[in-house]
């Protein structure tokens, strides 16, 4: 049954396909840009050279210092680079870290952003930026940081190693899974969520089997876009809060943390949201959402235990404490003992707790 809901479409133009990098110059000009500063990481300088060539006369310069967690010192260096080349817009090419730098610059200067994502993190579809200052990560939600235009080019994702594609893809699935039970869930976002999960669950094993499978890479990027829209459109809950806390407190890698925690967070919430779980199960083709996602991560060869990505056992209690302080909305009330149990399972790499049948 469809109840009442509010749905707000975020104003962002999307160009999707293979070889779409070639439209970068036209897209910059469409935004009124004349001098574009390209942002990327040192690892992706080669790709950004192709972007420079595609930008032609609107290419103003390159800043390849983007790094994880958007430290303000890096943003300040990028601001100086913008000034030095008199840039009037930025083009970010890379994963969530590079997109974050573009957003941080837009927040400070109001410049237009053309974003060219090369992972499945989904940041390009959200008006949210996380920034780090003196070791503290804070999050800002501001319409000014939403990129004006996004170019998805499948070709650029072919170099994303299969292991990163796996965890980044499950990171995307996490956005859609929580969107299905969000407090402000709505039928349109839920359609995108289910379709995004379906596309990724089908594509990721194919990429793991053959990393240059273009059809699978296309389907994965399409799914990632849909999941990114979910993240930008509705509120997240326990899973995202846990990953934010674990990542920030123990300096754990973003996508891998999401991959490990997701089955456990869903197992915790499952009794409260059987309809959402049924939709996730259907999308991944499994009898149970959390068990199915655990099996998917295992099949993709992803790490399954927080202890294997650097979390100390002594941190389990602290993480549980942090997860229940500053309460936030979640479909199932936050119970410290049960949350501690789920973190302990995720730490050890155990299967998610079996769900009691909901009557």
- Taken in order 346, 348, 351, 357, is the CA torsion positive or negative? negative
Q: Which is nearer to ligand NAD, 220 or 277 (CB)?
A: 220
Q: Check: CB of residue 105 under 8 Å from CB of residue 90.
A: yes
One of 33, 52, 71, 94 touching ligand NAD (CB under 6 A): 94
Please answer whether residues 259 and 302 qualify as being in contact, where contact means their C-beta atoms are separated by less than 8 angstroms: yes
**Residue number with the smallest Cβ distance to ligand NAD:** 96
Measured CA to CA in angstroms, residue 191 lies from 179, 195, 267, 291 at distances of 10, 6, 22, 22
* Nearest distance from C-beta of residue 97 to ligand NAD, angstroms: 3
Q: Give the CA radius of gyration of the chain.
A: 20
Stretch that binds ligand NAD, among 41-49, 178-186, 190-198, 264-272 (CB under 6 A): 41-49
- CB atoms < 10 A from the CB of 321, how many? 13
- Choices 55-63, 126-134, 217-225, 343-351 (CB under 6 A): range interacting with ligand NAD: 126-134
Q: Which is nearer to ligand NAD, 133 or 313 (CB)?
A: 133
For residues 173-209, b (16+ Cβ closer than 10 Å) or e, as one string?
A: bbbbbbbbbbeebbeebbebbbbbbbbbbbbbeebbe
Of the candidate spans 152-160, 194-202, 304-312, 323-331, the one that interacts with ligand NAD by CB under 6 A turns out to be 152-160
Q: Of 276, 302, 173, which is closest to residue 227 (Cα–Cα)?
A: 173
* Residue 96 engages ligand NAD in binding (rule: CB under 6 A): yes
Options 74-82, 118-126, 264-272, 309-317: segment touching ligand NAD (CB under 6 A): 118-126
Tell me the site size for ligand NAD, rule CB under 6 A: 29
Whichever of 118 and 269 has its CB closer to ligand NAD, that residue is 118
Binding ligand NAD (rule: CB under 6 A), the pick from 44, 48, 75, 218 is: 44
The owner of tokens 């929580």 is 178
Distance CA 176, CA 119 (A): 16
Among 48, 113, 119, 149, binds ligand NAD (CB under 6 A): 119
Judged by CB under 6 A, which stretch of 48-56, 125-133, 193-201, 310-318 contacts ligand NAD?
125-133
Query: In this chain, which stretch among 88-96, 176-184, 210-218, 304-312 interacts with ligand NAD, using CB under 6 A?
Result: 88-96
Check residue 160 for interaction with ligand NAD (CB under 6 A).
yes
Does 224 engage in binding with ligand NAD (CB under 6 A)? no
Residue from 97, 131, 257, 291 in contact with ligand NAD (CB under 6 A)? 97
Residue of 48, 92, 126, 149 interacting with ligand NAD (CB under 6 A): 126
- Site for ligand NAD contains 121 (CB under 6 A): yes
Report, in Å, the least distance between residue 164 CB and ligand NAD. 6
What's 198-235 look like in SS3? HHHHHHHHHHHHCCCCHHHHHHHHHHHHHHHHHHHHCC
Answer yes or no whether residue 20 interacts with ligand NAD by CB under 6 A: no
Is there binding between residue 223 and ligand NAD (CB under 6 A)? no
Q: Does 163 bind ligand NAD (CB under 6 A)?
A: no
Q: State in angstroms the smallest separation of the CB of 105 from ligand NAD.
A: 14
Q: Name the residue nearer to ligand NAD (CB basis): 259 or 281.
A: 259
- What token pair was written down for 303? 């790490």
Contact footprint for ligand NAD (CB under 6 A): 41, 43-44, 68-69, 94-98, 100, 118-119, 121-123, 126, 128-130, 156-157, 159-160, 164, 168, 231, 254-255
């Amino acid at each position: 049954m469809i109840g009442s809901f509010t749905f707000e479409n975020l104003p962002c133009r999307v160009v999707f396909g293979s070889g779409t990098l070639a439209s970068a110059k036209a897209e910059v000009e469409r935004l009124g840009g004349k001098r574009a500063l390209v942002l990327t990481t040192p690892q992706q300088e080669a790709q950004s050279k192709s972007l420079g060539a595609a930008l032609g006369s609107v290419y103003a310069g390159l800043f390849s210092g983007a790094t994880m967690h958007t430290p303000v010192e890096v943003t300040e260096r990028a601001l100086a680079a913008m000034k030095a080349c008199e840039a009037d817009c930025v083009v970010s090419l890379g994963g969530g870290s590079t997109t974050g730098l573009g957003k941080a610059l837009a927040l400070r200067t109001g410049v237009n952003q053309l974003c060219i994502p090369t992972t499945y993190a989904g940041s390009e579809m959200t008006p949210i930026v996380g920034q780090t200052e003196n070791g503290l990560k804070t999050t800002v939600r501001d319409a000014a940081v939403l990129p004006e235009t996004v170019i998805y080019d499948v070709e650029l994702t072919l170099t994303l190693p299969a292991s990163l594609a796996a965890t980044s893809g499950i990171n995307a699935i996490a956005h859609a899974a929580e969107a299905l039970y969000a407090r402000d869930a709505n039928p349109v976002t839920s359609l995108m969520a289910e379709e995004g999960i379906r596309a990724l669950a089908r594509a990721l094993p194919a990429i793991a089997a053959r990393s240059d499978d273009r059809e699978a890479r296309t389907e994965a990027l399409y799914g990632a876009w849909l999941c990114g829209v979910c993240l930008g459109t509705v509120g997240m809950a326990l899973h995202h809060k846990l990953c934010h806390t674990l990542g920030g407190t123990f300096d754990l890698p973003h996508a891998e943390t999401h991959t490990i925690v997701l089955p456990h967070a869903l197992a915790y919430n499952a009794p409260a949201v059987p309809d959402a779980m049924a939709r996730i199960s259907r999308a991944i083709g499994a009898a149970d959402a959390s068990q199915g996602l655990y099996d998917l991560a295992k099949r993709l060869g992803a790490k399954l235990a927080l202890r294997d990505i650097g979390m100390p056992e002594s941190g389990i209690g602290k993480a549980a404490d942090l997860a229940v302080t500053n309460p936030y909305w979640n479909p199932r009330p936050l119970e410290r003992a049960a949350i501690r149990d789920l973190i302990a399972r995720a730490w050890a790499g155990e299967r998610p707790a079996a769900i009691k049948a909901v009557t």
